[in-house]
Amino acid sequence: MKTILKSLLFSGLFISSIAYTNAQVYVRVRPTPPRPHVVIARPPAPSPRHVWVAEHWQPHRQSYRWQGGYWAAPPRPRAVWVPGHWSLRRRGYVWMPGYWR
């Protein structure tokens, strides 16, 4: 019985620690988009229902990297893409990624 209780307690602690591993990266000054060196034309849409997701910052390790734009199909009818934005928090700015609404 003690072994079962110990394993349940350990697995509960392990699962709860996994739930809190998606930490956010804070920055003191919002980075500006990199200056374009080459102008790249937007490729044609694969279908009329695809939506252009503009260039944005992408969390990468303990920093952010610039992600180019791409076409994406909405996950459901009438879904609207809400672009990401920088949000000011107590410890600095945090990138809030875009999402489908």
* Per-residue pLDDT reduced to its tens digit, 21-72: 455 677 667 677 766 666 678 899 999 999 999 888 888 888 888 888 999 9
Residue 10 has pLDDT above 60, yes or no: no
- CA pair distance 58, 56, nearest whole angstrom: 6
Q: For residue 23, what pLDDT is reported? A: 59
User: % helix / strand / coil in the chain, to the nearest 5?
Assistant: 20, 30, 50
Identify whether the C-beta of residue 42 lies closer than 8 Å to the C-beta of residue 52.
yes
Least confident among 10-14, 20-24, 47-51, 91-95: 10-14
Query: Which positions ≥6 away from 90 have C-beta within 8 Å?
Result: none
